[in-house]
Structure 1
């Protein structure tokens, strides 16, 4: 997907995008935060008008951060910048009044790439009490994995540990605080873009064995299996993917 209207979007090599994935009425706007070329910038991109709007800058420089929406509020968690170690710093922006990013309580563990950098520990943030607390550890330590929420469960897809690329996947039951393994990917991959569309989970592109991937897999929760579908036209690694109002999946290359 091209972003010709704004260089902050066009040149943002490693960015996070945001979407109300659980909404029955998906948004037609993307929120792009941080990245190597503009680590403090926040841009809203309208896919209909192809126009970008600058939002308030982050308090901290961030690359490979994690972005989560809860209602009208967007939370940015951890990340790193320019060779620095992952950080614990979190901040929040109210989209109804996007005036300033507000710093929040720091995480218990420094994290980037939507993970804990080869640790298996996990934590959750209570948006009411504004506190982080530990939850059950994952089955496998993993880094640079895909993470999505689908039907009230959290899915962690592929990734890498300190020795190999992973095909294994697991699912977290928020109510019972239990991780369960699900069917592995057909192809091990890390740095893939993952998204939910029509209650199916997609793992798009990625990297393995010094090779960028164009392959795409879809997880059917009914039968509990991954299936290969049409490949991308171009191999992509560390790309971003999202679903917009026309219920199409868009992917942007790093």
Structure 2
């Protein structure tokens, strides 16, 4: 008797009805194309450029200035060198992850990059929620003070978790990559939609408690909605990847 050994997986979905991909069915790419490597570079430029959170706050509040130009130059140089050496995820000459369920050591550069990416994803969202909640509760707009007081404690907590290997895609082994990447991309899609929407609302809504309530409600709703779509595997790169190997049993 022949059976598809996929744990709880049957018919391309798991026991929750979430679509899955079989690792054995995925096309193996021997090399990354040049355009693929080039388009991944700006992602890491942005991740490291917004690393100093209070400076990023000044960018959106007051515009680009000499401090940001100097920091951008450092980031361009650092990520450019790392990219040329194949030490940025997605910018490697050859993909490091071949089989998403394979137990391989997770290189240091991947662990560092994804730690800072998680920091960018989580920290800014938490600060914006806190700032809006405070403004609604007290009527005081203290976003700058909240950034100055809260950014580095929150970010440092995430950096420590990354150093300990406690974050998805930052663990010592790549064995769980088939599931861990869906948590990362789900979070990424959520903030990439919610944050620009929040910036737009800041531009078009008048200041005051009613506007802040709308901003917070829309922001939280988008995070929850996109998070749910990601959980259900409806967004790019959010489907679980499982072994899906054929086995013979008698």
> TM-score w.r.t. structure 1 length?
0.24
When Rg is computed on C-alpha atoms for both structures, the one with the higher figure is 2
Where is the helix percentage greater, Structure 1 or Structure 2?
2
Question: Which structure dedicates a bigger proportion of its chain to strand?
Answer: 1
Higher relative CO (CA 8 A, sep ≥ 6), structure 1 or 2? 2
Scaled by the length of structure 2, the TM-score of the pair is 0.25
